[in-house]
Structure 1
Amino acid sequence: MKTALVVGASGGMGYALVNELVSRNIHVKAFARNKEKLVALFQHHKNVEIISGDAFNEQEMMKASNGVDVIFHAISFPYQDWAKQHNRCLDMVIKIAEKQGAKIALVDNIYAYGRQSTNRITEETRKEPQTKKGKIRLAMENKLKESNITSLIVHLPDLYGPNAENTILYETLKKVAQGKKANFVGNMQVKREFLYTVDGAKAMVELALRDDTYNQNWNVPAVHTITGEELVKILRDITGYKKGIRTVSKGMIRLIGIFSPSMKEVVEMLYLTEKPVILSGEKYEKEIGTLPGTSYRVGLEETIKWMKKRVLK
């Protein structure tokens, strides 16, 4: 891979992917709607070509993808827009990849797995989503597999990291960084998985650089599971945060959802905070090598540092 296009480069995983690709001396075309944000994120990167555009505009996508080897599909949409936009956007990416002779690397989550009774979810686990958003994600996966495009699909758990704003942890971390009273979504005694975006990008780029990894699904888990209480303790240690943290329940989110379409859409995914889907990284470690494993302490320190520099200044 000499040149890559990252669609959704201004998001959390998009940002991490651009940085990881550049670190491997790959020329990157960073594509997103907001040129101002792209410039703020990547203006100091010599090997990044900033391209603002609309992922639904075929002419703009064709121009952006000219000469690329791999298209990293890292774009997402507000929950309330998923049904209208996700599959339509993937249709465009597939069309462009076919015309340009490029591969696709899809950033995916765990929603398509649905509720599971097993402890560790492998790539062979049957996907039976019960939620609207899980069914959309499974439809995207099937659409990509049924196309003629050489592709890989990477399943990632809940994320956190620099620039990862559309995540379940973002508001918690932001309030802690500000020294304000924070909320935590879900039971704080339940062990869950939060993947540092930098680690997710390292694993995904490694997969994309190899020829024998395509036309497969890959799980990339976090370094280990952690409870909300353990996570908050780390945050207190690294920031000196003294305030209490309120647990946000399903009932509270339902109430907020009466007035907020985006919060209304969160409710159906809250089963993941009660009975989390925990990914197995056995396939990756057997076939590729050791998974990237930044400790929660280091990952949270870097995320808070980034927030104070970029978001809270």
Structure 2
Amino acid sequence: MQSEILVLGSTGSIGYAFTENLLRKNIPVSIIVRDVAKAKNLFKDFDNVEIIKGDAQDLNLLKQVAADKKYIFHGINYPYDQWFGNMDVVTAKIIEAASLNQAMIVFPGNVYNYGKTPLIKEDSPEHPCTRKGALRVELKKMLKDAAHTGKCKVLDVCLPDFWGPNVLNAGIKPIFINAINGNALPYSVRVDIPHQMVFTKDAAEMIVRLMQRGVKQPYENYNYGGQVHPTMKGFLNQISRSADAPEKITVYPKWLFTVLGIFMPVMKEVKEMLYLFEGTVILDDSKVRSIFPTFKETPLQEAITETLDWFKENELGK
């Protein structure tokens, strides 16, 4: 069966969950990856995935693979200190590739472009308060303009912080590794306020449902917020208990990132985003919940156990 879907960023956090969701539904997928061995390991249980070695920045390869695709999942991401000159450039190339077949670009967005807006709706004005937020505004405009000029269709799904299997960023991976090893769980700035997070498998299911439903307008955007945890302390302690670890948390203060930023450029970029940990930002996802009224998140305990098991097997070899 010929694949209609090209996934870029399939070995990353959201891209992995999205790809796995489709493969479990026996929907064939094509992926372009730089690390073929990593991809083969991640998707070793499936035979309906076409793995193509390459880089999404290779426009000729991108156009060659995308020429007959109906959907292109844009899950490409870079370390914070490499965003500029990469995220904008690769997005322009993905748009060009999608224009060959007027494909739908499926784009997992984030809250950066809204700044400190406490409650974000689909039509909330964009008020970025960081450089990376301003870049997200630019990326969104690129996608909107491409859709409205007939080059492609765009499904933009805005997500909060995410966690789950294969989420290996510096904010999430140490939490699960430390829990497994019986150590204190690290978190930044505050653990005593509500924080919205989404389990990647839930995000993937919602995005797949929206993709399969299709778009009536050239550009459509939706929020999906997952779950609001009353406090991160409660969420982190539940992870510790699930791993039979002591309920201990190490909270990194804001000033620490200032010091680390002197030696590590990426920490300057992390510091810029700490406003998301100082206050509560909530995505209003009533729109998608009205479209899919029976949609239910994975029970929290089940999601935590599955994530711990994934890290034990894939990161610690236990």
TM-score after normalising by structure 1: 0.94
Letter paired with 2:126: K
CA displacement at 1:170 relative to structure 2: 2.1
Gaps of 5+ in 1: none
* 2:89 counterpart of 1:85: no
Map Cα deviations across residues 251-278 of structure 1 (whole Å, 9 max, x no partner): 1111111111111210011000111211
2:278 equivalent in structure 1: 274
Letter paired with 1:300: I
Structure 2 CA distance for aligned equivalents of residues 224 and 59 of structure 1: 42
Letter paired with 2:308: I
Matching residue within 235, 257, 261 for 2:261: 257
1:70 equivalent in structure 2: 71
Letter paired with 2:251: T
CA displacement at 1:39 relative to structure 2: 1.1
Q: Residue 96 and residue 212 in structure 1: after superposition, are their counterparts in 2 closer, same or farther (change >3 A)?
A: closer
Q: Is the 8 A contact 1:284 1:291 kept in 2?
A: no
Map Cα deviations across residues 208-249 of structure 1 (whole Å, 9 max, x no partner): 111236511110111233412101221122111116321011
1:103 equivalent in structure 2: 104
1:211 equivalent in structure 2: 214
2:242 equivalent in structure 1: 238
Specify the SS of the correspondent of 1:258.
helix
Alignment of 1:292-303 (within 5 A): 292-303=296-307
Matching residue within 150, 165, 168 for 2:168: 165
Q: Is the 8 A contact 1:171 1:182 kept in 2?
A: yes
1:221 equivalent in structure 2: 225
Structure 2 CA distance for aligned equivalents of residues 14 and 289 of structure 1: 25
Which deviates more from structure 2 when the two are superposed, residues 291-300 or residues 100-109?
291-300
* 2:184 counterpart of 1:185: no
Structure 1 CA distance for aligned equivalents of residues 101 and 114 of structure 2: 31
1:141 equivalent in structure 2: 140
Structure 2 CA distance for aligned equivalents of residues 4 and 226 of structure 1: 37
Q: Is the 8 A contact 2:185 2:250 kept in 1?
A: yes
Structure 2 CA distance for aligned equivalents of residues 292 and 156 of structure 1: 16
Alignment of 1:193-208 (within 5 A): 193-208=196-211
Structure 1 CA distance for aligned equivalents of residues 109 and 315 of structure 2: 26
Where does structure 1 differ by over 4 angstroms across 4 or more consecutive aligned residues? none
Structure 2 CA distance for aligned equivalents of residues 44 and 63 of structure 1: 27
Q: Is the 8 A contact 2:67 2:100 kept in 1?
A: no
Alignment of 1:106-125 (within 5 A): 106-116=107-117, 118=118, 120-125=119-124
1:304 equivalent in structure 2: 308
CA displacement at 1:177 relative to structure 2: 1.7
Q: Is the 8 A contact 2:237 2:248 kept in 1?
A: no
Structure 1 vs Structure 2 CA RMSD:
1.7
Structure 2 CA distance for aligned equivalents of residues 111 and 292 of structure 1: 26
Letter paired with 2:163: Y
Q: Is the 8 A contact 2:5 2:71 kept in 1?
A: yes
CA displacement at 1:172 relative to structure 2: 1.6
Q: Residue 71 and residue 173 in structure 1: after superposition, are their counterparts in 2 closer, same or farther (change >3 A)?
A: same
Q: Is the 8 A contact 1:113 1:127 kept in 2?
A: yes
Which deviates more from structure 2 when the two are superposed, residues 157-166 or residues 169-178?
169-178
Q: Is the 8 A contact 2:102 2:153 kept in 1?
A: no
Letter paired with 1:174: I
Structure 1 CA distance for aligned equivalents of residues 111 and 202 of structure 2: 17
2:25 equivalent in structure 1: 24
Map Cα deviations across residues 190-210 of structure 1 (whole Å, 9 max, x no partner): 110111000000000111111
Map Cα deviations across residues 154-210 of structure 1 (whole Å, 9 max, x no partner): 101001010011262222222112223432113010110111000000000111111
